[in-house]
Chains A and B, each alone.
Chain A
Amino acid sequence: MLNAIALLGRYGLNRLATLGRAGVLFVAALWGRPTLRPGLSLLVRQLFNAGVLSLVIIVMSGLFVGMVLALQGYTVLVRFGAVEALGQAVSLSLVRELGPVVAALLFAGRAGSAMTAEIGLMKATEQLVAMDMIGVDAVRRVVRPRLLAGIITMPLLAQIFNAVAIGGAVLVGVKWLGVDSNAFWVNMRESLSFGEDILNGIIKSLVFGVIVSWIAVFQGYDSEPTSRGIGEATTRTVVYSSLAVLGMDFLLTAMMFGVD
């Protein structure tokens, strides 16, 4: 019994220590004056890796999610003779919830796992230590641009996801199922509020960007420098990021759109 309590205590302390290391890494990565040379070029390269290379999966997923939403929405709304509200239903679901959440989950799987694997491999092949030995801060050189790139690209990717998904919904709802185009767009425009819906959606995706990128860079930096260690760290990035995004989404939704 005592052993079990001791084990539980040790597990708790280890988790706490891990959280502490993650906090230290986050502060160390963002601390200090950003530099134009070579900071900007490193950031641009990571913006390309995290943002541009994630575009295909974001666009394709957005298209299909929008098409499915329109199809499901239509089958429900048609029973009540309210198919004109399709634009409103689709856009609210996307802008408030699905856009930020699904884009963040896809980002964790595509860019987050790549960040973890890359940093983990750099650690395993002693590239981070070599940088340190040359007198270059590996946290600022390797971790900072990846963290910033994730935070910057996440809201942009979520907005692209939303736009493509709405396009997919138009394809299915208006072009295929024959919902009136005017009613679709007018209802969407009237129901969406910039302050309450769009801005809150952007804030959500910004928070998700911080969470996913932070988890990804930390898991890579803290990984055991073996092939198994890197594999486990990559898996942890996807699992922890997904759970953190979904949990945080509930909290943010309760804060932003909570019932009075």
Chain B
Amino acid sequence: MTTRTARQRQNDDYIQIDNLHFRYRDRTVFRGIDMRIPRGGITAIMGPSGSGKTSLLRLIAGQLKPGAGTVRVGGTDIHRLSRSALFRERRKMGFLFQSGALFTDLSVYENVAFPLRAHTRLPDTMIRDLVLMKLEAVGLRGARHLMPATLSGGMARRVALARAIVLDPELILYDEPFAGQDPISTGMLAALIKRLNDTLNLTSIIISHDVPETASIARHAYVLADGQVAGQGPIQEILESRAPEVRQFVKGLPDGPVPFHYPAPDYRDDLDLGETC
């Protein structure tokens, strides 16, 4: 009975991260974190700048290697795969970059068609239908002939989203999808992420600073601080958490466990005021 329950729980978790340690140059980013990302929902990963949110996303995607620990995606230890096996595994993932990362020498249409042309031998007519369906889903079917340089930030992110879902992935990783967007674009993107996740039955991970917008669509959340998981659970519990690191982030308090000031020598010494004042 116990074994069956454990296996069932394992199946419900699409991503399992155990004892993850990671260093970037001289800085320790993660000190043995454990996470479970449930299948089929939207999970938010929040935390102050520099808490390693983007590094975590890249560790999940196998772009960075951990110092220790394991990251299992759909049951596969992503860091034990060969390069070609990792590339095959990534076809099940979509990644939305903060910048959009559209290929600047390709039109909107060709950007969305890129993964299809790279991984399938579908005829052009079928590629055309698939691309137009995905562009329709993000509301940009009419912009198919535009070049990335002529798109607004919000449009570029929607095109990147269409490209991320064109291979019908099981998992989508969103890196700061709302950063630098106006309120209309933010609301539009949030609704789009929610709709795509529900209709395509995806597992989504969103990294974001935007607490209200993320809370409106995410089911679970993790808050990272100081190389560790400071809080986790259903989004409502996170919003009401009394843990100091979580509370500071969620309420947007300027000072707290994450100090306002970067470590510096004594202010008076720095101004050469010495003992005279």
Interface residues of A (CB under 8 A from B): 38, 122, 125-127, 129-137
Contact = CB atoms under 8 A, between A and B. Distances in A.
B153 interface: no
A115 to B, nearest CB: 14
Contact of A137 (B87, B119, B163): B87
Interface in B71-125: 87-88, 90-91, 93, 95, 97, 99, 101-104, 114-115, 117-119
B63 A127 contact: no
Given A125-B99, A130-B97, A135-B115, 20 more contacts: A126-B97, A127-B101, A127-B104, A129-B63, A129-B101, A130-B95, A130-B103, A132-B90, A133-B63, A133-B90, A133-B93, A133-B95, A134-B90, A134-B118, A135-B91, A135-B118, A136-B87, A136-B114, A136-B118, A137-B87
Contacts of A132: 63, 90
A126 B95 CA distance: 12
A101 to B, nearest CB: 32
16 contacts: A125-B104, A126-B99, A127-B101, A127-B102, A127-B103, A127-B104, A130-B95, A130-B101, A130-B103, A131-B103, A133-B93, A134-B114, A134-B115, A135-B87, A135-B119, A136-B118
A61 B138 CA distance: 51
A107 B114 CA distance: 31
A52 B201 CA distance: 49
Contacts of A130: 95, 97, 101-103
A126 B63 CA distance: 13
A46 to B, nearest CB: 12
B63 A38 contact: no
Interface of B: 61, 63, 87-88, 90-91, 93, 95, 97, 99, 101-104, 114-115, 117-119, 163
B162 to A, nearest CB: 13
Q: Classify the secondary structure of B's interface with A.
A: mixed
Contacts, number: 46
A125 B87 contact: no
Nearest to B90: A135
A182 to B, nearest CB: 52
Contacts of B163: 134
B123 to A, nearest CB: 13
Of A122, A132, A134, A135, the most chain B CB neighbours within 10 A belong to: A134
A130 B94 CA distance: 10
Nearest to A121: B104
A38 B99 CA distance: 26
A127 B111 CA distance: 11
Nearest to A133: B95
Contacts of A131: 103
A134 B116 CA distance: 10
A35 to B, nearest CB: 11
Contact of B97 (A38, A129, A135, A137): A129
Nearest to A130: B101
A129 B98 CA distance: 12
The 6 closest A-B pairs by CB, nearest first: A130-B101, A126-B101, A135-B87, A133-B95, A135-B90, A136-B118
A139 to B, nearest CB: 11
Contacts of B63: 129, 132-133
Contacts of B104: 122, 125, 127
Nearest to B98: A126
A130 B160 CA distance: 10
B101 A125 contact: yes
A137 B173 CA distance: 20
B150 to A, nearest CB: 15
A38 B116 CA distance: 13
A137 B88 CA distance: 11
Contacts of B115: 134-136
Nearest to B118: A136
Nearest to B94: A133
Contacts of A137: 87
Of A38, A122, A131, A133, the most chain B CB neighbours within 10 A belong to: A133
A130 B119 CA distance: 15
Contacts of A135: 87-88, 90-91, 115, 118-119
Nearest to B95: A133
B276 to A, nearest CB: 36
Contacts of B102: 127, 130
Nearest to B111: A130
A135 B87 CA distance: 4
A232 B169 CA distance: 39
B254 to A, nearest CB: 29
